[in-house]
Amino acid sequence: MLSYLEMDEGAVVPLHDHPHEQGGILLEGRGETDDRRRGAGV
């Protein structure tokens, strides 16, 4: 399955899990997971 998401600046995704492995690619902007900050292409 492939999904495309657009999120507003400052959006928060609640802690959740999936029954199978998940992956993602950040195309633009910055994101933060736990204590890790990421930027597009990093």
**Is the pLDDT score of 42 beyond 70?**
no
pTM for the model: 0.55
Q: What is the pLDDT of residue 32?
A: 82
Q: In the prediction, which pLDDT does 33 show?
A: 76
pLDDT attached to residue 8: 93
Cα–Cα dist 37/32, whole Å? 4
- Over residues 2-26, the pLDDT tens digits come to 889 999 988 998 988 889 988 888 8
